[in-house]
Amino acid sequence: MKLNKLSKALFASALTIVMGVSVIGCGKSPEEKPATTPGTTDVSQSGEKVEVDIFQFKVEISEALQKAADLYMSTHPNVTINLQTVGGGDDYGAALKAKFQSGQEPTIFNVGGPQDVADWIEKLEDLSDQNWVDRAGSTLGAVTSEGKVYGMPYGVEGYGLVYNKAIFEAAGIDASTIVDTASMDKAFAQLDAKIKAGELKEQFPLLEAVTEYPVKEKWVTGLHSSNIFINQEFKTGVDAYNAKEIAFEKSEDFKEYFDLMVKYSSHSDSPAKLNAVDYATQVGQGIAIERVAVTQQGNWVYGDVKNVDEQVAENLGFLPVGGDRIPLGVPMYWAINSTQPDAEKAAAKDFLNWLYTSDEGKNVVVNEFFFIPPFTGYENYPAQDALGKEIMRYQAEDKTTPWVFMGYPTAWGEDVLGINLQKYVAGEMTWEQVIDDAKAKWAEARQ
């Protein structure tokens, strides 16, 4: 969902997920239409100079997105695209609000789901007439309000426990036996013992712990980790958005999982230090250099790991979380500022259409963004990287669960739950206090 770089190829012509994401079928796709947006002029033929400001959250695609913008501008000389990226460890939502408050409103920005649609509805352009809508399956439920579509899906992503297959094989651990927290604990204990005994030192000289858990990254804990258990209470993000209260029915299961991540982490003896562990420490300085064998992340880390060690990247797989499954969902949606001039909006729509429906754009989306496309029409772009193939395996086996965190109350996941989880590992709150406060703050937000 956020993060830092990119690499090679990825895709799926059929994908099933919930929270407004389900089967995006194989076979013949709807007839491709020109990239020009219905009801607008062809900006490539217009002599009018237009500037389109993009303010987006995905750090790992920023370089490739700039290249895509440059490619588009090379054939649309009257259009200037300015790109700004705020993400990774930064709070995109807060940065977006500050951007609008400063008077420097972007033309294209990001919304995450039903809560964001409600928060930004006065600034959202109706995209219902766009060519890509018919190819989006049911990925649009999270950004549809009163029959109008307000967002274009980035892509589809999956996450779980990314693990190094070579390390598990060397330790004699059959990863296929890990189907729940109990079997995970057993396998991790076995690996932990071998690491501490130095049995894997010769083959993996930097290996020091089973896991790395970036509690500093509130989106990892407060959004992704919590989603594993809250999605057993709400079927979709829309259901979560409509819920006046949260029962947190699986809070004890959440505790068991959270404690397990801490127990086998590099700071198991001093959990408070996990509050300083960020994404870079977890990925580029963690699993990528084989300092740890497992980390909770998604398919988006493949590029970062590949940039460090391609062989390690190809040895990555997914362990299931919250049962024998992995969560699949849309990380964010492209939105267009409805209050911007018509020419800017037309250019913005044209650029997004070009990016996801033209052959040049598809190549960028699959081979440079490293996305699993959320649309039909990509049948010639199969997954080629290790994690992309893993996602397709889980999907084919119907072992996926939904992303519902986009329906959490505004900032609840990070600024309430995420912060309280930091206090929990620091010994400043009990688990009961964490859960009770989360329930209370959810109810307050929904009043």
Same domain for 82 and 214?
no
Domain assignment present for 99: yes
- Local structure of 229: helix, strand or coil: helix
366 and 440 in a single domain? The answer is no
Residue 74 makes CB contacts below 8 A (sequence gap 6+) with none
- Both tokens of 301, joined, read 């880390």
* In 331-430, alpha helices (H): 342-357, 359-367, 386-396, 419-425
Are residues 353 and 323 located together in one domain of the fold?
Answer: no
123 and 184 share one domain? no
Cα–Cα distance for residue pair 154/213, rounded to 1 Å: 26
Predicted local confidence at residue 10, as pLDDT = 28
Look-up of token digits 């039903």:
114
Q: What is the pLDDT of residue 438?
A: 98
Q: How many domains does the chain have?
A: 2
Cβ atoms 129, 39 nearer than 8 A: yes
Residue that the structure tokens 């909770």 belong to: 296
Torsion of the alpha carbons at 297, 11, 176 and 269, rounded to the nearest 10: -10
**Residue 249 burial (CB count, 10 A):** 12
Pairing of strands 50-56, 79-85: parallel
Check which CATH number belongs to the domain holding 341 and give it.
3.40.190.10
Q: Decide if 345 is inside a domain.
A: yes
Whole-angstrom distance, CA of residue 231 vs CA of residue 213: 21
CA 70, 76, 79 angle in degrees (round to 5)?
80
Helix (H) or strand (E) holding 52, with range, is strand 50-56
**Would you say residue 108 lies in a domain?**
yes
**β-strand partners of 149:** 144
Q: Examine residue 398 and state whether it is found in any structural domain, yes or no.
A: no
- Give the span between the Cα atoms of 252 and 366, in whole angstroms: 39
CA dist 8 to 95, 230, 386, Å? Answer: 29, 33, 11
Would you say 356 and 363 are in contact if contact means Cβ atoms under 8 Å apart?
A: no
Tokens of 437: 């406060």
Q: Are residues 209 and 261 in the same domain?
A: yes
Based on the fold, state whether residues 251 and 217 are members of the same structural domain: yes
Both 427 and 295 in one domain: the answer is yes
Q: What angle do CA 161, 318, 289 make, to 5 degrees?
A: 70
Specify the pLDDT at position 45. 57
- Give yes or no: residues 186 and 310 share one domain: yes
Residues 138 and 3 in one domain: yes
Same-domain status, 131 and 190:
no
Neighbour count for residue 86 (Cβ, 10 Å)? 21
Q: Classify residue 397: in a domain, yes or no.
A: no
- 307 in the same domain as 170: yes
Residues 285 and 365 in one domain: no
396: in domain: no
Phi, then psi, of 92 in degrees rounded to 5? -65, -40
CA distances from 262 to 212, 219, 303 (A): 8, 16, 26
Asked if residues 373 and 21 have their Cβ atoms less than 8 Å apart, the reply is: no
- Residue span of the structural domain in which 61 resides: 1-156+331-376
Q: Are 50 and 343 in contact (CB under 8 A)?
A: yes
- Rounded distance between C-alpha atoms, residue 361 and residue 367, angstroms: 10
| 8-state DSSP, 124 | B
pLDDT in tens, the chain (447 residues): 433 332 322 222 223 333 333 333 333 333 444 444 443 445 655 578 999 999 999 988 899 999 999 999 999 999 999 999 997 767 888 999 999 999 999 999 999 999 999 999 999 999 999 999 999 988 999 999 999 999 999 998 999 999 999 999 999 999 999 999 999 999 999 999 999 999 999 999 999 999 999 999 999 999 999 999 999 999 999 999 999 999 999 999 999 999 999 999 999 999 999 999 999 999 999 999 999 999 999 998 998 899 999 999 999 999 999 889 999 999 899 999 999 999 999 999 999 999 999 999 998 888 888 788 889 998 887 777 899 889 888 988 999 999 999 899 999 999 999 999 999 999 999 999 999 999 999 999 999
Do the strands 400-402 and 292-298 form a parallel or antiparallel pair, or are they unpaired?
Answer: unpaired
Domain presence at residue 26: yes
| Cα–Cα distance measured from residue 168 to residue 195, given in angstroms and rounded to the nearest whole number | 11
In a domain, 41, yes or no: yes
